[in-house]
Amino acid sequence: MMPGCWCNEEATRATLVDGRLQTGDLGTLDENGFLTFVDRLEDMIISGGLNISPAEIEAVINQIPGVEEVAVISVGDAKFGETPAALVRISSEMKESEVVGYCNERLADYKVPRYVVFMDEPLPRMPSGKIAKRQLRDTFADVPADYDKVR
């Protein structure tokens, strides 16, 4: 598919495994052989040994009236290793407990964000228009120290 990453042998070794391109995308195949994109492997949250797709949580939170945009990232947790944190930009007054309550009704308990951080500014984006999750993970690495758990 490709000979390698331009001038970066280390990235090439990480990306090409047994001659196959490892994109880092996660998906499912249905009974008809159709592939559905689920999430990025690097975004997956492993909490207490359970895999959590941030995209699933984001889809639920995006249904809440007044939510402009949301990104769910992994943050450290002493008990579970990692736990979900929701970074939410809203257009109207909202409480963290409203986001958690909405998620509680629609998601398994372990998928409900333990932290909800309301953002005043738009979430950072990459040139492609996608939310810059890596940047958010770096910026909000200290969420457990800086914010209270909401559940």
pTM of the model: 0.77
What is the rounded radius of gyration, in angstroms, for the C-alpha atoms of the chain? Answer: 17
Which comes out higher in pLDDT, residue 50 or 147?
Answer: 50
For residue range 30-47, list pLDDT tens digits in order. 888 887 655 566 678 999
Integer Cα distance of 6 and 84 in angstroms: 34
**Residues sharing a CB contact under 8 Å with residue 95, sequence separation 6 or more, in sequence order:** none
Residue 140, pLDDT > 60, answer: yes
Other residues' Cβ atoms within 10 Å of the Cβ of residue 145: 8
**Mind listing the pLDDT tens digit for each residue in 73-107?**
999 999 999 999 999 999 999 999 999 999 999 99
Please report the domains of the chain, with CATH numbers, ordered by start residue: 41-146 (3.30.300.30)
